[in-house]
Amino acid sequence: MLTGIQIAVIGGDARQLEVVKKLTELDAKLWLIGFEQLDHAFSGAVKEKIEDVDFSEIDGIILPVPGTNTEGKVETIFSGENVYLTEEILASTPAHCTVYSGISNKYLDSITTNTNRKLVQLFERDDVAIYNSIPTVEGTIMMAIQHTDFTIHGSKVSVLGLGRVGMSVARTFHALGAKVTVGARKSEHLARITEMGLEPFHLDDLSESIKDTDICINTIPYQIVTAAVIAKMPAHTLIIDLASKPGGTDFRYAEKRGIKALLAPGLPGIVAPKTAGKILANVLSQLLQEDLKQRKGKTI
Ligand code: NAP
């Protein structure tokens, strides 16, 4: 349980509602900042303006998946007002106050470092990335269906990268009957691809390997689908780039060649906000409970 714990939830989208639901069930006291336009009420959670929250009592701050922008502004889809997380606010929190965010940037790194507050990036965790790969794959399937006039079954799908997303994508498209090839650069990844019953290729041979591909799904956050690679693809190839912005595709050249290339960020929040929210809520409740246990241990 999280009885006695006070948490500021700043901004976010539908995913954050699952977090609020879970934490209030665990008896935490929540301050919801940037939620004025939300109709729903949660017992144990109070909607408040950021300037009216007493941060000296706050044990944890939960930011939405993108964290803040480079000026400290937090995305708030349930509010018409701008909300900023500043160094001054963090400095007014107790020393043990932890900031939880999906990802970070220079601004968030700098204000947490300057105030000596712990920052937890949830999306750096393997468990979150693997759970999140499930709705990501479902969103990828949706895009493949929407943007092609052929079935996934029987088509040639080239997956680039065998990380947490790449592995789930490759396995699922294979299960749907696609002929899946997977490109990687590490010998152990090539071995794993073979073990999975898929066809491996080294990324050095990418241009050759995508010559007859119908759908190319990139998960590598690095310029990998270059103009030279796109030039070798059949004209009907669909590129779905899942890598974080700006993706790994030369979109300018793809457009010039008339190849459909789609950058598809944030699929879990789009296709399954409830599940994506539950993934975050589960890991956050676990982390907050561990934190509380540790602090209680220290004071005994
Ligand atoms: P990951 O586990 O770190 O996997 C990344 C893969 O890219 C690994 O196979 C890695 O291979 C490869 N890679 C990285 N840099 C490379 C380079 N310079 N050359 C060749 N290969 C390289 O990451 P992930 O969790 O699978 O996520 C992949 C991407 O998808 C990330 O950008 C993530 O932000 C994004 N993502 C998008 C969505 C969405 O909705 N679109 C959802 C979740 C995640 P090595 O091991 O050889 O480095």
The stretch 257-263 carries a mean pLDDT of 97
Read off the pLDDT of residues 94-128 as tens digits, 9 standing for 90 and up. Answer: 999 999 999 999 999 999 999 999 999 999 999 99
Q: Which ligand 1 atom lies nearest to the CA of residue 133?
A: 43
| Closest among 262, 250, 154, 252 to 217, alpha carbons compared | 262
Q: How far is the CA of 165 from the centre of ligand 1 (A)?
A: 7
User: What pTM does this model have?
Assistant: 0.89
Pocket test for ligand 1, best of 219, 225, 249 (most atoms within 8 A of CB): 219
Q: Are 273 and 15 in contact (CB under 8 A)?
A: yes
Q: Which residues contact 261 (CB under 8 A, 6 or more apart)?
A: 225, 230, 238, 239, 241, 249, 251, 254, 255
Asked whether 246 lines ligand 1 (CB < 6 A), one says no
Radius of gyration, CA atoms only, the chain = 22
Report the range of poorest mean pLDDT among 14-18, 217-221, 249-253: 14-18
Question: Whole-angstrom Cα distance, residue 141 to residue 18?
Answer: 25
pLDDT at 138: 98
Do 197 and 288 reside in the same domain of the chain? no
Do 157 and 137 reside in the same domain of the chain? yes
Q: Where are the alpha helices (DSSP H) in 98-180?
A: 106-114, 126-146, 164-175
Q: How far is the CA of 266 from the centre of ligand 1 (A)?
A: 14
Structural domain contains residue 133: yes
Q: How far is the CA of 163 from the centre of ligand 1 (A)?
A: 6
* Domain of residue 48, CATH code: 3.40.50.720
Do 133 and 196 reside in the same domain of the chain? yes
How many percent of the chain have pLDDT more than 90? 85
Q: Which amino acid is at 69?
A: N
Structural domain contains residue 278: yes
Do 135 and 20 reside in the same domain of the chain? no
The stretch 7-26 carries a mean pLDDT of 93
Q: Are 59 and 96 in contact (CB under 8 A)?
A: yes
Please provide the DSSP assignment of 212-231 as one string. Answer: T-SEEEE--SSS-B-HHHHH
Structural domain contains residue 137: yes
Query: Per-residue confidence at 228, pLDDT binned at 50, 70, 90?
Result: very high
What total of structural domains would you count in the chain?
2
Do 59 and 118 reside in the same domain of the chain? yes
Do 57 and 185 reside in the same domain of the chain? no
* In the predicted structure, residue 291 carries a pLDDT above the cut 90: no
How many percent of the chain have pLDDT more than 70? 99
Q: Are 162 and 170 in contact (CB under 8 A)?
A: yes
pLDDT at 115: 97
* In the predicted structure, residue 297 carries a pLDDT above the cut 80: no
* In the predicted structure, residue 44 carries a pLDDT above the cut 90: no
Do 199 and 279 reside in the same domain of the chain? no
Asked whether 104 lines ligand 1 (CB < 6 A), one says no
Euclidean distance between the first and final Cα of the chain, in Å? Answer: 18
Domain of 59?
6-124+272-299
Structural domain contains residue 1: no
Do 72 and 93 reside in the same domain of the chain? yes
* Angle of the 273-299 helix axis to the 126-146 helix axis, nearest 10: 170
